[in-house]
């Protein structure tokens, strides 16, 4: 069983914390910190398994992690999980994130924390691996997105004249406008000019 899934950056800032076993709040933080220190010490070219963090269960538990650019993905699992299997699962998870966010980066994880959680829910459920096929996961997420879209379009219809107003605004609002085009079925050629925005920096974002 998977006990916890932790994602943090190179400085130990947590980006995603999901425990499948109950730990008190302070212990959770301590686990994140300790795990970070354990993982940070290790080079990228040595093995991805760690044993014997004293906090989660001791010798029966292992940490399996992968390091991607600025982020560490760490899975704490018990002895019934296969090391290579989990390693593969991390890859699947990250690839799914990449597919859903298109070139996922740390900022995506920060600003769409909820979405990351939804994706994770389709991969791991209650500590058990639910699905390992990336296409299936993406399909599930897309089904949810469609739902979201229909909700949003309902919203849009209920507020006429809104589109024009936002078009005048800059930055983020441009981005929003795109969405309106899409959902209300207008021309979509503007999309291409907007694509650089997807990884937009925070500073760009400021009006």
Instruction: Kindly identify the residues of this chain, within the stretch 63-92, that bind other proteins according to CB under 8 A.
Output: 80-85, 87-89
The reply on whether position 140 binds other proteins by CB under 8 A is yes
Beta strand residue intervals within the chain, DSSP E: 2-9, 14-19, 49-51, 62-68, 71-77, 124-125, 128-129
The reply on whether position 102 binds other proteins by CB under 8 A is yes
Show the 3-state SS of 1-23: CEEEEEEEECCCCEEEEEECCCC
Is-contact 93 82, C-beta < 8 A? no
Among 10, 40, 58, 135, binds other proteins (CB under 8 A): 58
Q: How many residues bind other proteins (CB under 8 A)?
A: 84
Among 40, 111, 184, 193, binds other proteins (CB under 8 A): 111
| Strand partners for 76 | 4, 63
User: ∠ CA(7), CA(8), CA(13), 5° rounding?
Assistant: 145
The reply on whether position 165 binds other proteins by CB under 8 A is yes
In the three-class reduction of DSSP (H, G, I as helix; E, B as strand; rest coil), residue 42 is classed as coil
Site for other proteins in 11-40 (CB under 8 A): 14, 16-18, 20, 22, 25-26, 28-29
The H or E element that residue 102 is part of is none
Closer residue to other proteins (CB): 40 or 147: 147
- Dist. CA 77–CA 183, nearest whole Å: 42
Site for other proteins in 167-206 (CB under 8 A): 172-173, 175-176, 178-179, 182-183, 188, 191, 194-195, 198, 202, 205
The reply on whether position 164 binds other proteins by CB under 8 A is no
The reply on whether position 50 binds other proteins by CB under 8 A is yes
Closer residue to other proteins (CB): 54 or 69: 54
The reply on whether position 131 binds other proteins by CB under 8 A is yes
- Give the shortest CB-72-to-other proteins separation in angstroms: 15
Burial of 192 (0-12, 13-18, 19+ CB in 10 A): exposed
- Give the shortest CB-179-to-other proteins separation in angstroms: 4
């Amino acid at each position: 069983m998977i006990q916890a899934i932790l994602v943090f950056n190179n400085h130990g800032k947590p980006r995603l914390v999901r425990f499948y076993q109950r730990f008190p709040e302070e212990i959770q933080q301590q686990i994140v910190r300790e795990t970070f220190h354990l993982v940070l010490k290790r080079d990228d070219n040595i093995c991805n398994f760690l044993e014997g963090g004293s906090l989660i269960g001791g010798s029966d538990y292992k940490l399996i992690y992968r390091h991607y650019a600025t982020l560490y993905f760490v899975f704490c699992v018990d002895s019934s999980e296969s090391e290579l299997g989990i390693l593969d699962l991390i890859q699947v998870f990250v690839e799914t994130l990449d597919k859903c966010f298109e070139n996922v980066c740390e900022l995506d994880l920060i600003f769409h924390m909820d979405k990351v959680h939804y994706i994770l829910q389709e991969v791991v459920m209650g500590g058990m691996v639910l699905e390992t096929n990336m296409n299936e996961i993406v399909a599930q997420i897309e089904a949810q997105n469609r739902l979201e879209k229909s909700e949003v379009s309902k919203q849009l219809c209920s507020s006429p004249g809104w589109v024009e107003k936002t078009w005048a605004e800059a930055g983020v609002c441009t981005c929003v406008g795109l969405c309106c085009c899409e959902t209300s079925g207008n021309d979509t050629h503007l999309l291409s000019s907007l694509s650089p925005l997807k990884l937009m920096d925070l500073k760009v974002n400021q009006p």
